[in-house]
Structure 1
């Protein structure tokens, strides 16, 4: 399938979904009344379910299918398959055995999912202590969660949709993994959850691949916290979510080939970050790879209302390599394309180096600052072909409104090794070092067409600039430069 589903198409598809009940009766089914997926070759047993022609006294055969999915699950042997006819099923599902629940979605696309689950009680589908495949399922307006995997359960959701999850207590997530459960989401759509689209906390593992996570209303499109095993986010469209596109807390993760766009704040002045990575004494260590050495690994992080990518905390480590970070932060709140703060990058990496590595990215057209490093954080900023076009935004400096629009800013005891970057066409200066640590390095960079000068150095000692190529001389003003160096 193509991974793009235009919102007009999605809205029309949601409007057209049936909302009726199960419709099953006690009559015997007529032969071959349903349309079913092919039975998996390795299934230990196969049972059939049909909302339209199943019977409460059916036996699960194709000629006499069950009327409810739960009947099929209960009757299935360990390692079996439940083949479900298209229709609406007004039931909750509890799955505690290894089983596949499959709809007749022959083209493998979420818009062709045919099983509609309308659960009357919270947590529409629960998976515990077993390995489950769910394919071709639509979960409409679940309460608490569309799918909840826990207690060492493992669930794979494929070619499915979770729509409009309603909050219950603190939950309201499209899919949810806790208590050493693990979740894999493939080629699916999770839309308009009141919580997160995908939520994993103390989970065994989480993967989201080639899916659309859109318009989820709280926490983030994808929220991962203190997950012990592998977390990978590959090839997804993560758009128009509230507060965060992706939030990673105290977890190792790989993020490649995603589009993370247009994250909004729920209320004026609140968070609205494309990718947020936090590692500290409270949530634990976070190591996150955003992009990678191969060009095809790149993410596009665009149009998020505050920050494109944020690393925060003394246990936050990772790389930001070969991405497009463009048009992030608006003119209503202070933000940046990439922002590194609160001692992030000071814990040693596997090779014993320190610093968040920011390399080979296009960082263009962001408000306020292209790349900012502050409050004792450390960064390695090398070989970025474009840190450019930063748009001026207004802040208060000593009670005076001041506009800034800098390509690079290093502040408040932070340090950066800055080498072989092209820094151009920024609204104010190319690079600002303001109260930065003495260990900063600034070598072999090219500065072009920055509006008010190439480099400002203030309250920072020992920074040599003579190996940089500048089209105008560096500037060192004797007045406050107007910048808020506090954490975002």
Structure 2
């Protein structure tokens, strides 16, 4: 179900993004050339600003529709979705997935020596407590797992009884299906700096491992040069390097991790490495990453050097530094929760999802139907890559404790090492409660539609600002973006800010209730010059209301305004010249200013007010 949602969402987004990019390249005025009659000011055409007209004549409200919440999620009543989960973190060996209100064991232990294992006539049995002579039968089982694997026929099953097995297990010669009675009772541990369980080579493709607990001083489970591996109902914990590593250059690696718990592991709990590596994570929990060694990270999931990782119906929580990261990798996150990522002891990061350019490889991130909550520094951050985001809620992102405390719900930024720009498409999402920035686009481009950004507050240590959406460029070339049918509510200081050589089309958008910060600012839309150049915005069929200072303010930027209403604000249209650029505000007709029933002709003023300053981490 999750992969179907992803495929459908990505296909639709590619079509929509292609149209959006085409529109951006043809901007000549806000909304382009239209032959239909001019709608009432601020009406958004057939639907009010902040909503989108559908073919059946109905209006779609910005945010995540309540009936579009993923399985295991419910509408939060504020325009987003939240996962149904236990109130408290589950204890060791217990887990909960979206839709579950209580913590539960990973697998049923059943009864008897072998529980509910699907044994057959060729099964090789293991019981570490057995002390007699062994032939692999249930009556005379092997005492080590490795002996049973060696004795099993290709594709055969190994059944492991309750016990503590201290050995390094290798599946290297033929495919086998390794089954423990349940993770609660069967523990595989390895006390050397290697892998507790290694699955290696093309000869073992199709192997599977079920219902074990695994721990080790090195890797818990490592997979090299093999395909179609299934890991199911595992508990991999206290592995100092990684719980699960798909690494090596011997050939393609494909694996599925399903219905498993990875907890209290070091470095990155999951690592998938290389362009021939594909990992599918389904209905699993990755939590409580531990910062160990010189790297001091404690990441949940890592895709690097072109590896492709998909995470569906899973919970990634209480990790350190980053919940999910793509280091030049490809990530698909569907119907999942990434929450409560903690900063390092230094105060750095705590990001929900981070992807960034690495060694000539641009990362690609798709997020559909997911929730990012209670992370630090950024809910989602993309540096030198691409983002597709749909039906996703990002909430309560806190600023980090260093670097002046910058924070953003969603961030698209240039990779500052190699100068690679990011691009993004965001649709039908909900971003609220961020400190400093709701959505921050720096030296990058975005097409954003039907999304609600609200309740951004002025937080942080040095960045005393709170902005709903900021489009900023300090490079010399012109960058373009589009904003359609957004709703921006109660973002402290600025609703939308455009700075530097950026050209943006803003249509059918609502900006309301923009308060001041300590009696400073409080502007709905701000378009400003900065040393790299001037910003330009075309604004059509928008409503900007109840701003604490100015509904629209340009400081050395250019605004073309049509069929919009500016309401109940001290200043409606304010234009000032900047150091090296004139402020231009073109009234293209159909605009109204005023409050309540007293809407009338708009007048441009030139009141000297301080513009907000561009910000950046």
Identify whether the pair has TM-score above 0.5, normalized to the shorter chain: yes
Give the distance between the partners of 1:104 and 1:12, measured in 2 at CA.
14
Give the distance between the partners of 2:134 and 2:115, measured in 1 at CA.
16
SS in structure 1 of the partner of residue 394 of structure 2: strand
Give a deviation string over 1:33-83, Cα, whole Å, max 9, x none: 832543366x9x31111112254x300011110111011001011110001
Number of matched residues? 429
Structure 1: gaps of 5 or more residues = 15-31, 106-111, 167-171, 292-297, 349-353, 397-401
**2:472 is equivalent to residue 411 of structure 1:** yes
Structure 1 residues 372, 436: CA separation in 2 closer, same or farther (over 3 Å shift)? farther
Give the distance between the partners of 2:85 and 2:238, measured in 1 at CA.
20
**2:117 is equivalent to residue 38 of structure 1:** yes
Say which of 377, 387, 392 aligns to 1:323.
392
**2:430 is equivalent to residue 392 of structure 1:** no
- Computing the radius of gyration from Cα coordinates, the structure with the larger value is 2
For residue 108 of structure 1, what is the aligned residue in structure 2?
A: none
Say which of 422, 431, 441 aligns to 1:363.
431
- CA deviation after TM superposition for structure 1 residue 4, in Å: 5.3
Structure 1 residues 239, 360: CA separation in 2 closer, same or farther (over 3 Å shift)? same
Give the distance between the partners of 1:327 and 1:9, measured in 2 at CA.
22
**2:521 is equivalent to residue 443 of structure 1:** no
SS in structure 2 of the partner of residue 152 of structure 1: coil
For residue 53 of structure 1, what is the aligned residue in structure 2?
A: 130
Q: Is the 8 A contact 2:501 2:536 kept in 1?
A: no
For residue 190 of structure 2, what is the aligned residue in structure 1?
A: 119
Structure 1 residues 36, 50: CA separation in 2 closer, same or farther (over 3 Å shift)? farther
Structure 1 residues 6, 382: CA separation in 2 closer, same or farther (over 3 Å shift)? closer
Give the distance between the partners of 1:329 and 1:231, measured in 2 at CA.
27
Say which of 173, 185, 188 aligns to 2:257.
185
SS in structure 2 of the partner of residue 51 of structure 1: coil
For residue 231 of structure 2, what is the aligned residue in structure 1?
A: 157
Structure 1 residues 374, 12: CA separation in 2 closer, same or farther (over 3 Å shift)? closer
For residue 351 of structure 1, what is the aligned residue in structure 2?
A: none
Structure 1 residues 461, 62: CA separation in 2 closer, same or farther (over 3 Å shift)? closer
- CA deviation after TM superposition for structure 1 residue 355, in Å: 3.6
For residue 137 of structure 1, what is the aligned residue in structure 2?
A: 212
Q: 1:6-405 to 2 correspondence within 5 Å?
A: 9-11=90-92, 34-39=113-118, 45-53=122-130, 55=132, 57-96=133-172, 97-105=174-182, 113-121=184-192, 122-129=194-201, 130-131=204-205, 132-140=207-215, 142-152=216-226, 154-166=228-240, 172-179=241-248, 180-202=252-274, 204-217=277-290, 218=297, 220-228=299-307, 230-279=308-357, 282-291=359-368, 298-313=369-384, 316-330=385-399, 332=401, 333-342=405-414, 355-375=423-443, 377-384=444-451, 386-394=452-460, 396=462, 403-405=464-466
- CA deviation after TM superposition for structure 1 residue 196, in Å: 1.0
Give the distance between the partners of 1:216 and 1:164, measured in 2 at CA.
9
SS in structure 1 of the partner of residue 147 of structure 2: helix
Give the distance between the partners of 1:79 and 1:118, measured in 2 at CA.
24
Give the distance between the partners of 2:356 and 2:299, measured in 1 at CA.
14
Give the distance between the partners of 1:445 and 1:343, measured in 2 at CA.
30
For residue 479 of structure 1, what is the aligned residue in structure 2?
A: 610
SS in structure 2 of the partner of residue 277 of structure 1: strand
Q: Which moved more, 1:465-474 or 1:187-196?
A: 465-474
Structure 1 residues 380, 347: CA separation in 2 closer, same or farther (over 3 Å shift)? farther
When normalised by structure 2's length, the TM-score is 0.65
CA RMSD of aligned residues (A): 2.7
Give a deviation string over 1:373-394, Cα, whole Å, max 9, x none: 002x11001111x200001124
Give the distance between the partners of 2:89 and 2:350, measured in 1 at CA.
24
Of structures 1 and 2, the one scoring higher in RCO (CA 8 A, sep 6+) is: 2
SS in structure 2 of the partner of residue 73 of structure 1: helix
When normalised by structure 1's length, the TM-score is 0.82
For residue 601 of structure 2, what is the aligned residue in structure 1?
A: none
- CA deviation after TM superposition for structure 1 residue 395, in Å: 5.9
- CA deviation after TM superposition for structure 1 residue 182, in Å: 3.0
- CA deviation after TM superposition for structure 1 residue 331, in Å: 6.5
- CA deviation after TM superposition for structure 1 residue 226, in Å: 2.2
Structure 1 residues 54, 322: CA separation in 2 closer, same or farther (over 3 Å shift)? farther
